[in-house]
Structure 1
């Protein structure tokens, strides 16, 4: 292992450890909250759609101004505030359950407010990484962070499903709350000073938001990536809004079995994280952005073919291959964005991309709930997976098709390592 590896970057290891713990808690929560709603609180398909939408609604509501905020202030305090806020919000769920006053309305409100804190954290975090490790090591940094996310995708659902069956869904939410607390405490140990914010030159918030939006929509490849990702997220969230109902009611699985299916499905994401760097070197990072979705997206069409018993494996297979493609795509497309964007615009550009791509998710959640109640859960999955197969089209029409490597950029100074 050579000395320049991020393995030897003490401050990055703190960030990485915090993200590993919080991502694990996040995936426990993403399994437990819908299970709690579907089984204990007997939510309808539409109510499940509303809960799914609430979990990402803040990206649509506050995504753009958050980018302006992140470009005006240091990023680490924003991340700390978000972590401790999420820890407190999630703690109210088991407390309400123990007092026998938990309602679906509370779950939705907690999901909505926690999503606002997640907006703050995610935009600040993606803007913080380049100043911590430097642009030359963004691919390695994003690969390591994505590996942790993928490992959490594998372990979190299984642990969440098991905990829900053993101690109840509400008590299992405590795991998610504690994970955000630990993440915040690890962030406090990062001592590397951040570069001074570049200020806002007296410009209004709306003017600065337009500058970020202009960069995203004006760079042809980044625009295509953003549109394709938004369409993919829309289709995936339609599927996710019905996923727990499909597994528990159509396939007849217990909470523990649901966790096992989701954990096995997430192995594809872990493999994607472990091979993303090599895959990008083999076919070229720019080429991987469009080629991987083109090959993998149509495979999701096997998910609605699943039936109780042995054919449940079709659901696992389709979700696992989708997770593999999504993970490789995320590593290379986030690295592309961080590589081409000026540091002074990074917060606004990240926020704009999140606003567009994640803003599609609450729409997908509500659409999934409406379709689930109208045409049924399985038919809704057919609509979602068919749409997902078409989402690489904007990438095929972009300049990315003619590129193998990312455009060359000028390296910015970063703080020395500890």
Structure 2
């Protein structure tokens, strides 16, 4: 991705487009050992701590609402919705982030703001002043800070990690994220039981402080902003990012596939899957938790093996396989029957295969998207993704609730599997299945898009 705009149609190698001196001496685009790159290791450590802290809040925040404030099911649902709502503004926030050169500093501020907001909860609880409105405000504002962090993340990641190591870096980040889902809920449950939910939130707040410190350590040579603050308006800049995604064949197919698979998998989501396991499969809560814990190891395995699989099959084909393997196992759960051990085993297998599939999908597609997005539009591209990809999730959850009420949970699981697997249809006519490696990624700037494209000569893809 070039540091400055290139004339439309200009072609050059992706690895050379960042200019000399972008990475630490001895860490080149061709041979990058992330285990010896202290900048990446610090960044990775920060993200790991933050992910484990998030797993605590995933459990603690709803329990604050239920246990401390006696919230109803509808009020808990609104709390979840408020966390996702700021993503509807991600397109504008991404344009705002693109105006700033020091995107890493924005990430640090976002982490510190989230820590401060979370710390207000135990303080208010200790003073007897905690209210549902306060909890809603924290959910909304931390969600907004998360959007700023995530839209800046893409640009920082691209200049922290050499292109040759995108897959390896995304794999490592996904491994610890997957591990947080295996270990985090149990640790969070123990903290909530020992300290109460409002106090357990302190652990997540401290994880954001640690993340801010570790993210702030690496020195990164970031490119100049695409436009200064006196340039085009935010809505116009936001539109440029969205238009670029829509007109680019790789990014358009990537976003269409991601949004489709997210809509259908959110028809079921964790909530309805737990409800199905309890009511239809008649499993005890402890057995359900064990099945989910065992199933989560699939995501861990997928994150570890995704780079090797992509080297064997090609990065594009790995994305396509993951797009099908992620949602398809929900059909397996729909037909679960027999003794309790068989029903629990089927539930665990569903989670294992779906987790493996989503990591195969995410690790490869995240790397592909990073290579495809130009520097001048990175945060706006990330904003467009968040607006569509995350904005579709609440709609999927609402549609899933309606479908389950009318047609039943088993039917909803089957629709999730079939509809989600059909997301691969976005990929088939696109260049993605033919891309074997990031070095082959080739861009032809569509007519009318900002002239920020970068290309690499592409070797012939597989037959």
8 Å CA contact 1:233–1:361 kept in 2: the answer is: yes
Deviates more, 1:401-410 or 1:3-12: 401-410
8 Å CA contact 2:159–2:221 kept in 1: the answer is: no
1:398 and 2:430 correspond: yes
Q: 1:338 to 1:30 in 2, by over 3 A?
A: same
Q: Quote the Cα distance in structure 1 between the aligned partners of 2:266 and 2:144.
A: 18
Q: Quote the Cα distance in structure 1 between the aligned partners of 2:78 and 2:340.
A: 30
- What per-residue deviation string (whole Å, max 9, x for no partner) do you get for residues 252-298 of structure 1? 755x7766544333211111110010011010001111122224421
Structure 1 residue 155 displacement after superposition = 1.5
Q: Quote the Cα distance in structure 2 between the aligned partners of 1:158 and 1:65.
A: 37
- What per-residue deviation string (whole Å, max 9, x for no partner) do you get for residues 147-176 of structure 1? 221221222122223333443333322221
Q: 1:75 to 1:10 in 2, by over 3 A?
A: same
Of 125, 144, 147, which residue of structure 1 is paired with 2:172?
A: 144
Structure 1, unmatched stretches of 5+, are 413-418
Q: Quote the Cα distance in structure 1 between the aligned partners of 2:333 and 2:254.
A: 25
Alignment of 1:359-370 (within 5 A): 359-368=391-400
8 Å CA contact 1:268–1:320 kept in 2: the answer is: yes
SS in 2 for 1:155: helix
- What per-residue deviation string (whole Å, max 9, x for no partner) do you get for residues 113-161 of structure 1? 2111110111111211111223232222222212221221222122223
TM-score computed with the length of structure 2 as normaliser:
0.78
Superposition CA RMSD, Å = 3.1
Of 274, 282, 305, which residue of structure 2 is paired with 1:275?
A: 305
Q: Quote the Cα distance in structure 2 between the aligned partners of 1:39 and 1:253.
A: 22
1:358 and 2:387 correspond: no
Who is 2:22 aligned against? none
Who is 1:86 aligned against? 114
Q: 1:92 to 1:243 in 2, by over 3 A?
A: farther
Who is 1:68 aligned against? 95
Q: Quote the Cα distance in structure 1 between the aligned partners of 2:409 and 2:69.
A: 19
Q: Quote the Cα distance in structure 1 between the aligned partners of 2:336 and 2:190.
A: 22
Structure 1 residue 110 displacement after superposition = 2.2
| Alignment: residue pair count | 409
Who is 2:260 aligned against? 231
Deviates more, 1:235-244 or 1:373-382: 373-382
- What per-residue deviation string (whole Å, max 9, x for no partner) do you get for residues 292-333 of structure 1? 222442112234556895323333321222111111211111
Structure 1 residue 397 displacement after superposition = 3.8
Q: 1:259 to 1:356 in 2, by over 3 A?
A: same
Structure 1 residue 381 displacement after superposition = 5.0
SS in 1 for 2:327: helix
Q: Quote the Cα distance in structure 2 between the aligned partners of 1:146 and 1:199.
A: 33
- What per-residue deviation string (whole Å, max 9, x for no partner) do you get for residues 45-101 of structure 1? 5444333322211111x2011211221112111101110111122223333444455
SS in 2 for 1:298: coil
Who is 1:173 aligned against? 201
SS in 1 for 2:368: helix
Alignment of 1:149-164 (within 5 A): 149-164=177-192
8 Å CA contact 1:53–1:361 kept in 2: the answer is: no
Structure 2, unmatched stretches of 5+, are 1-26, 443-453, 457-463
Q: 1:244 to 1:43 in 2, by over 3 A?
A: farther
8 Å CA contact 2:49–2:211 kept in 1: the answer is: yes
Q: Quote the Cα distance in structure 2 between the aligned partners of 1:282 and 1:376.
A: 41
8 Å CA contact 2:298–2:352 kept in 1: the answer is: yes
Who is 2:42 aligned against? 14
Structure 1 residue 402 displacement after superposition = 3.9
Alignment of 1:100-249 (within 5 A): 100-200=128-228, 202-240=231-269, 242-243=271-272, 246=275
Structure 1 residue 241 displacement after superposition = 6.2
SS in 2 for 1:301: helix
Who is 2:315 aligned against? 285
SS in 1 for 2:219: coil
Q: 1:165 to 1:383 in 2, by over 3 A?
A: farther
Which of these two proteins has the greater Rg computed from alpha carbons?
2
